């Protein structure tokens, strides 16, 4: 296992993490911004008002994209296990 193969695997893993976390983080950011704007306009400062909608939105995103996320993660893991003999042989 060479340094370049380790760096390639680490780079692929980081790209996969960004692809999987991206939709959840974007939706959480948008909902949080909308709730903060609403709280600023109405001067309602309730902490649960920002938490519950974000929780629901993130749950919906995971419900909608969960199958795709699991498929991406499974494909990466399968590819990694398929490369183990080549990596151990030093190639």
pLDDT value at residue 65: 95
SS3 content of the chain, % helix, strand, coil (to 5): 90, 0, 10
Q: What is the pTM of this model?
A: 0.78
The rounded distance, in Å, linking the Cα atoms of 65 and 87 is 32
- In a 3-state reduction of DSSP, which class is residue 90? coil
Contact 49, 39 (CB under 8 A): yes
**pLDDT (tens place) for every residue of the chain, 91 residues total:** 788 888 999 999 999 999 999 999 999 999 999 998 988 888 887 777 888 999 999 999 999 999 999 999 999 999 999 998 888 887 5
pLDDT value at residue 88: 85
Q: How far apart are the first and last CA of the chain?
A: 7
Number of C-beta neighbours around residue 35 at 10 A: 19
């Amino acid at each position: 296992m060479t340094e370049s193969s380790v760096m390639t695997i680490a780079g692929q893993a980081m790209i996969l993490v960004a692809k999987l976390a991206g939709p959840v983080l974007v939706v959480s950011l948008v909902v949080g911004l909308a709730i903060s704007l609403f709280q600023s306009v109405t001067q309602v400062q309730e902490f649960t008002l920002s938490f519950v909608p974000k929780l629901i939105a993130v749950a919906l995103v995971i419900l909608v994209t969960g199958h795709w996320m699991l498929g991406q993660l499974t494909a990466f893991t399968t590819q990694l296990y398929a490369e183990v003999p080549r990596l151990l042989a030093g190639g």
